[in-house]
Amino acid sequence: MKDQNNLAKLILRIGFGGFMLSHGIPKMMKLFAGGEIQFADPIGLGPTISLVLTVFAEVICAAMIVIGFKTKWATVPLIFTMLVAAFVVHANDPFGKKEFALLYAVGYLAISLLGAGKYSIDKK
């Protein structure tokens, strides 16, 4: 049973972290594309800083979760980013638009509470 729990933690980490990379990598490309950055500024830090923080969460932190490195800490920026996406960026949108970000937030909260598991750098 313990190995099944560790396998489940690995699947959660790879699934949520890996899928988030598909959102973060295109945003990262915006940083390196040059020119004026067009990105939402949901908390008033400016579009460039907002994009950098989002890329940090969606690429760096997501990759850390996939490999299981500082997993509990890596979930914090992702949970924050997903809650901002749901309740600030999509504040006036119907629930269906918020749902995706909320599902990610719940997944990262579960990963944070469960920990990285046996198959992670955190356990080495």
Q: What does DSSP assign to residue 121?
A: G
d(CA 102, CA 98): 6
Res 25: pLDDT: 96
Domain residue spans in the chain?
A: 2-123
The residue with greater pLDDT, 3 or 76, is 76
pLDDT tens per residue across span 24-66: 999 999 888 877 888 999 999 999 999 999 999 999 999 999 9
Residue 37 CA, distance from chain mean position? 21
Res 38: pLDDT: 87
pLDDT at residue 13 greater than cutoff 90: yes
Q: pTM for the full model?
A: 0.93
Res 36: pLDDT: 80
- Give residue 4's pLDDT band: very low, low, confident or very high (50, 70, 90): very high
pLDDT tens per residue across span 55-102: 999 999 999 999 999 999 999 999 999 999 999 999 999 999 999 999
